[in-house]
Amino acid sequence: MKMKYYTYWSIADLPTNSIKSYEVFLYISIICLITWICIKRYKKNNKDYEKLILLWIIGSVFIFSTSMFAYLTYIVKDDIENRIQAILTSPKVAQVEGVISGFKRERPASQRRVVTIESFMVDSVKFSYGDAMLGRFNSFSETNSILQNGLHVRITYGKVKNQIVKIEIEN
């Protein structure tokens, strides 16, 4: 019988994939346009050219950000999904399926900041990670951990250093 899994964590879930670069320039453009309209409408025109300078600066930023938005949207090909799929199907990664055993959570005294090191084994493959480096994918607090001994998982990992690329948990 083939087990069904759902993806608990993947490199595709990293914060760098949650907002696209073109979206940043879109938001900047919208904020600049609203600011430009407010300055044009409500700022008093004095003889010191303050209003004119502000309009030119905000207008320049608007033109630059709109140009970058158009460039990143229509000219630059966003192939992040293809690159992630290439990593997941690469011969440099392997997959292990089994039950988590030997799960340990510890905080090394040598760490200045609060970093929790978690380690476990699945079918004789040892995994270890610092939760801060992976966006705290295993816990939002010390008591809210989903990875634990006895949990049936399928893990895709890099063959060289056992870097976790994807964790799937049995349904």
**First vs last Cα of the chain: how many Å apart?**
13
Asked if 162 contacts 126 with a C-beta cutoff of 8 angstroms, the reply is yes
pTM of the complete model: 0.60
pLDDT of the residue at 68: 96
pLDDT at residue 100, as a whole number: 94
Residues 43, 51 contacting (CB under 8 angstroms):
yes
pLDDT tens for 89-109 read 888 999 999 999 999 888 777
pLDDT digits (tens, 9 = 90+) for 43-94: 888 888 899 999 999 999 999 999 999 999 999 887 777 888 788 888 899 9
